């Protein structure tokens, strides 16, 4: 019988910015890090298949298909990697670091979100930019794509909703319902809304339909906090990932905990054990049977701890008991 949780060998050596499973698999996983690496893992055999290296921190990474991976980094470049031939190409760049990369399957393109306050769409066959979209003067902090829908969360607490079929203008612009800086945003699997988190231990569940009856369903809740005596410690909620089958979602915080939530019934389904440092990234695989967790200290404290725990990647084989609506 396989263990519930496996620690992956050859983890990055600095803050892990992203972990992501390949399409239709729970075997292949990629990770990007501030150590300048993009690592390609075979989770089933617990081996690192390949490591691509650059001089600058890599801020996000995603699969295009099972052998092609793209990354965005602090050096402003979008890179395309081929894990079979171990080759890499610079596809193009932004005017500032690229914070987010997403594969847009519906147009077979890559979307990049940057601190230069734009999102760009790239044709990966021709390897050039086919559109640049201003994000209302906000740096892109988080982005999510599901078929034709895109949600972009920016530095000025704005959320922009776009439709890939008509990118001349955004569909909707909203102010975040969370008072503090946005950390992560993810679209529902059914595209009817999104979940977003902030640095102040809070998560909001929002719906796109402006109908007042639908808007009554939205709510926000506190999480990733703990009380010690009379003091409440409040932690950033760094990561969100949806279970594509059950539409429940996991959150990871700088408190070192992962929670799984049923957003429709406003319930927490479970909490995993405490990890030794911040959860910096989370990703369910396509069928929700496996959850990848990145644990890495994210420089949150003014004075770093005496012993900073080494970054680690865990793969957890989750059960229906943990992830299915009750």
Looking at the domain assignment, is residue 154 inside a domain? Answer: yes
Strand partners, 189: none
pLDDT cut 70: percent of the chain above it: 100
Q: Which band of pLDDT confidence, cut at 50, 70 and 90, is reported for residue 130?
A: very high
Q: Domain of 174: which CATH number?
A: 2.130.10.10
pLDDT at 19 over 80: yes
**Can you give the residue range of the structural domain that contains 260?**
5-299+311-322
Looking at the domain assignment, is residue 125 inside a domain? Answer: yes
Looking at the domain assignment, is residue 214 inside a domain? Answer: yes
Q: Which band of pLDDT confidence, cut at 50, 70 and 90, is reported for residue 326?
A: confident
pLDDT at 2 over 80: no
Q: Which pLDDT score is estimated for 302?
A: 82
Q: What is the pTM of this model?
A: 0.97
Segment 61-74 shows an average pLDDT of 97
Q: Which pLDDT score is estimated for 50?
A: 96
Segment 179-188 shows an average pLDDT of 97
Segment 42-55 shows an average pLDDT of 97
Strand partners, 231: 228
Segment 187-215 shows an average pLDDT of 97
* Number of domains making up the chain: 1
Looking at the domain assignment, is residue 305 inside a domain? Answer: no
Segment 205-212 shows an average pLDDT of 96
Looking at the domain assignment, is residue 201 inside a domain? Answer: yes
- With the C-alpha atoms ordered 200, 297, 318, 110, is the resulting torsion angle positive or negative? positive
Q: Which pLDDT score is estimated for 205?
A: 97
Q: Residues 14, 26, 69, 11: what is their CA dihedral angle, to the nearest 10 degrees? A: 20
Looking at the domain assignment, is residue 156 inside a domain? Answer: yes
Segment 6-14 shows an average pLDDT of 97
Looking at the domain assignment, is residue 17 inside a domain? Answer: yes
pLDDT at 1 over 80: no
Segment 84-106 shows an average pLDDT of 96
Looking at the domain assignment, is residue 96 inside a domain? Answer: yes
Q: Which pLDDT score is estimated for 3?
A: 86
Q: Which band of pLDDT confidence, cut at 50, 70 and 90, is reported for residue 255?
A: very high
Q: Which pLDDT score is estimated for 5?
A: 96
Interval 264-291: pLDDT, tens: 999 999 999 999 999 999 999 999 999 9
Segment 238-244 shows an average pLDDT of 98
Q: Which band of pLDDT confidence, cut at 50, 70 and 90, is reported for residue 218?
A: very high
């Amino acid at each position: 019988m396989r263990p519930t949780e496996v620690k992956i060998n050859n983890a990055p050596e600095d803050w892990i910015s992203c972990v992501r499973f390949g399409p239709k698999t729970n075997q292949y996983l990629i990770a990007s890090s501030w150590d300048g690496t993009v690592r390609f893992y075979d989770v089933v055999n617990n081996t690192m298949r390949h490591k691509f290296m650059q001089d600058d921190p890599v801020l996000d990474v995603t699969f295009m298909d099972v052998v092609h991976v793209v990354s965005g980094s602090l050096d402003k470049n979008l890179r395309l990697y081929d894990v079979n031939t171990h080759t890499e190409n610079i596809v193009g760049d932004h005017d500032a670091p690229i914070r987010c990369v997403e594969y847009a399957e519906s147009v077979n393109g890559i979307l990049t979100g940057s601190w230069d306050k734009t999102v760009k769409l790239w044709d990966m066959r021709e390897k050039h930019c086919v559109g640049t979209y201003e994000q209302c003067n906000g740096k892109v902090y988080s982005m999510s794509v599901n078929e034709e829908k895109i949600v972009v969360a920016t530095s000025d607490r704005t959320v922009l909703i776009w439709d890939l079929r008509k990118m001349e203008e955004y569909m909707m612009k909203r102010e975040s319902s969370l008072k503090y800086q946005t950390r992560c945003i993810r679209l529902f699997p059914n595209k009817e809304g999104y979940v977003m988190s902030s640095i102040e231990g809070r998560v909001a569940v929002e719906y796109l339909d402006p109908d007042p009856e639908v808007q009554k369903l939205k709510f926000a809740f506190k999480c990733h906090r703990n009380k010690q005596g009379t003091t409440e410690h409040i932690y950033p909620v760094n990561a969100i990932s949806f279970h594509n089958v059950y539409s429940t979602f996991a959150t990871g915080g700088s408190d070192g905990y992962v929670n799984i939530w049923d957003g429709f019934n406003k319930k927490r389904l479970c909490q995993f054990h405490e990890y030794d440092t911040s959860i910096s990234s989370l990703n369910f695989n396509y069928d929700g049977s496996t959850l990848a967790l990145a644990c890495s200290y994210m420089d949150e404290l003014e004075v770093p701890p005496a012993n900073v725990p080494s970054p680690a990647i865990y793969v957890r084989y989750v059960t229906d008991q943990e992830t299915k609506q009750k």
